[in-house]
Structure 1
Amino acid sequence: MLKTHLVDGIEVFSCLPGRKNDKPPLLFVHGAFAGGWMWTETIMPTLARAGYPCYALSLRGHGGSAGREEINWHSVADYVDDVKAVVDWLAASPVLIGHSMGGFIVQKYLEHRPAAGAALICSVPPQGLIASQFHLLFSKPHLFLELNRILSGEYTDTDTLREALFAGEVDEAMLGAWLTRMQNESQRAILDMTMFNLPNLFAMHRPPMLILGAEEDVLVPAFLVQTTAHTYGQKAHIFRHMGHAVTHEKEWPLVAAALQDWLEDIRP
């Protein structure tokens, strides 16, 4: 059963297994323009049924968390503090699972604290956003401009959302619901991820890691996911015929299965 909590002003969703066990909790960190809700319909219930206590936070200024009015001033360091607060509330070291910007925040968190594991899904690479921004600018300039409009708080449409996030067949009702929950993102956080607060690779804890990407991702292309994997001495798993929003592509159960298989290997 999905429940909602408020932890120091941070919205936290929980989806727990039917009985207690020794499996580590999972803490999901969403990407830009989104909220904890992006995990609640697909990945969280699936992994909870597999026995994992699942939690997803909405970073400050996102979803039902406090701070929406000041969102353009929130930094990546602020977002890391939000993750720390929820981890303290859990009172256990979780496996961190981050998508896109959330994967970047997970990397920054590991500068400060260890974790039971870290899964980076279509994550902003440790080298930052510059390469992906230039790739999008030259390959899809119209989409680059539209995403910058969204960053400034302007509305978009389902066609733009489909092109930016999905590669396969998309359920129109899901797409419309996603659009109503999208929001603008902190411009300060985008600058942090571009060049001003990149991960310090020498300071990071190195838990077991999983690197996942999507073949047709136009926001974090597969070659940048491979770069992330190479940086951390890992192999990347690239899902074919999927776009950036792998949590809601038609084949999303493949992503859940990859996470579950990896989680079974890192159990204490």
Structure 2
Amino acid sequence: MLEVIDKGSVTDSHPVPLLFVHGAWHAAWCWDEHFLDFFADAGYRAVAPSLRGHGASTSPKPLRACSIDDFVSDVAEVADGMPTPPVIIGHSLGGLVVQKYLESHDAPAGVLLGSIPPRGSGGSAVRWLRRHPWHFAKLSLTGRSLPYVSTPKLARERFFSPDTPADVVDRYASRLQEASTRAGFECFAAARPDPARIGTPLLVLGAEHDGATSRGEVLATARAYGTQAEFLPGLGHDVMLEPGWLAAAERIDSWLTGRHL
């Protein structure tokens, strides 16, 4: 059973629903803090599932064994339950899940926020190894990554800008949860998406102070899909949780409105 947070309804101005896909260590709650209400109030139906094993979603197997294909199936299950195909919006690892989903499913549009690029997460892993070699070694041995992202200091480094208030970082760091070991390793190579199979129009957004996805990776993602990357000033990786989240939401809204979605 998947936890699904569903707000708002489609309107004449925005007849296409939105489906938000979270990344590793997060769940549907990260969209519910600000984005779902913003888009519902703007006349959209805004839906955010927690992928299996995350949030209140159950899983038939341990979270550590869940694959990217499993998460794609979760997205497909929610999307198939909607009257019309939704716009798919993915963050970080969720952006990779969205790309894999779009290889075999139609969608009117997609948005990638700080997404893992089509070439995989090797660059991110190398940066992690250089920054925290002992953390990376223990993660590789135990399969447990939560301890190395969930302290306020480490959460700020990876997910938030230097100017994000400490109470915001503390609050959200405490809500992070363990991620899938299998999915994490698949992001290196096994689950790389094929941009040639994806014809969906995409908005590719990065953040100025992203500690997880580099500027070069955001640019590479945009190039792979024949579009231009845009960068949100002053924000960290978790653009939907930052105090400046409104700039990200408004840019997505304006892009969708410009496409009559």
Question: 2:205 aligns to what SS in structure 1?
Answer: strand
Q: What's the offset of the Cα at 1:241?
A: 2.5
| Pairing 1:21-36 to 2, within 5 Å after superposition | 21=12, 22-36=14-28
Q: What's the offset of the Cα at 1:41?
A: 1.2
How far apart are the structure 2 equivalents of 1:116 and 1:201? Answer: 16
Q: Does 1:266 align with 2:259?
A: yes
| Pairing 1:98-113 to 2, within 5 Å after superposition | 98-113=90-105
Q: Does 1:165 align with 2:156?
A: no
- Between 1:150-159 and 1:206-215, the stretch displaced more is 150-159
Change in CA separation of 1:147 and 1:117 when aligned onto 2, cut-off 3 Å: farther
Structure 2 partner of 1:81: 73
Choose the corresponding residue for 2:245, options 243, 247, 252.
252
- Between 1:27-36 and 1:215-224, the stretch displaced more is 215-224
8 Å contact from structure 2 (residues 160, 169) kept in 1: no
Q: What's the offset of the Cα at 1:203?
A: 2.4
How far apart are the structure 2 equivalents of 1:88 and 1:143? Answer: 43
| Pairing 1:8-23 to 2, within 5 Å after superposition | 9-17=1-9, 20-21=11-12, 22-23=14-15
8 Å contact from structure 1 (residues 168, 249) kept in 2: no
Question: 1:215 aligns to what SS in structure 2?
Answer: strand
Q: What's the offset of the Cα at 1:65?
A: 0.2
Number of residue-to-residue matches in the alignment: 257
Q: Root-mean-square deviation (CA), in Å?
A: 2.2
Q: What's the offset of the Cα at 1:67?
A: 1.7
Q: What's the offset of the Cα at 1:176?
A: 3.0
CA offset digits 1:142-163 (Å, max 9, x no partner): 6963993895055442121112
Structure 1 partner of 2:33: 41
TM-score (ref. length: structure 2): 0.91
Q: Does 1:61 align with 2:56?
A: no
8 Å contact from structure 2 (residues 95, 112) kept in 1: yes
8 Å contact from structure 2 (residues 7, 40) kept in 1: yes
Structure 2 partner of 1:236: 229
Change in CA separation of 1:184 and 1:109 when aligned onto 2, cut-off 3 Å: same
Change in CA separation of 1:110 and 1:70 when aligned onto 2, cut-off 3 Å: same
CA offset digits 1:50-106 (Å, max 9, x no partner): 111100010000000002860011100000000010011113100000000010000
How far apart are the structure 2 equivalents of 1:20 and 1:188? Answer: 40
8 Å contact from structure 1 (residues 158, 176) kept in 2: yes
Q: What's the offset of the Cα at 1:174?
A: 3.2
Question: 2:200 aligns to what SS in structure 1?
Answer: coil
Structure 1 partner of 2:176: 182
Q: Does 1:216 align with 2:209?
A: yes
CA offset digits 1:172-219 (Å, max 9, x no partner): 443333223211111110111111121122322x12210000122121
How far apart are the structure 2 equivalents of 1:126 and 1:167? Answer: 25
How far apart are the structure 2 equivalents of 1:94 and 1:153? Answer: 32
8 Å contact from structure 2 (residues 91, 113) kept in 1: yes
- Between 1:75-84 and 1:187-196, the stretch displaced more is 187-196
- Between 1:41-50 and 1:155-164, the stretch displaced more is 155-164
8 Å contact from structure 1 (residues 27, 55) kept in 2: yes
AA in 1 matched with 2:129: L
Change in CA separation of 1:165 and 1:235 when aligned onto 2, cut-off 3 Å: same
TM-score (ref. length: structure 1): 0.89
How far apart are the structure 2 equivalents of 1:68 and 1:33? Answer: 19
Structure 2 gaps of 5+ residues are: none
Q: Does 1:197 align with 2:191?
A: yes
Q: Does 1:227 align with 2:220?
A: yes
Q: What's the offset of the Cα at 1:261?
A: 0.6
Question: 1:195 aligns to what SS in structure 2?
Answer: coil
In the TM superposition, structure 1's runs of 4+ consecutive aligned residues that sit over 6 Å from their partners are none
Change in CA separation of 1:179 and 1:234 when aligned onto 2, cut-off 3 Å: same
Question: 2:104 aligns to what SS in structure 1?
Answer: coil
How far apart are the structure 2 equivalents of 1:179 and 1:115? Answer: 33
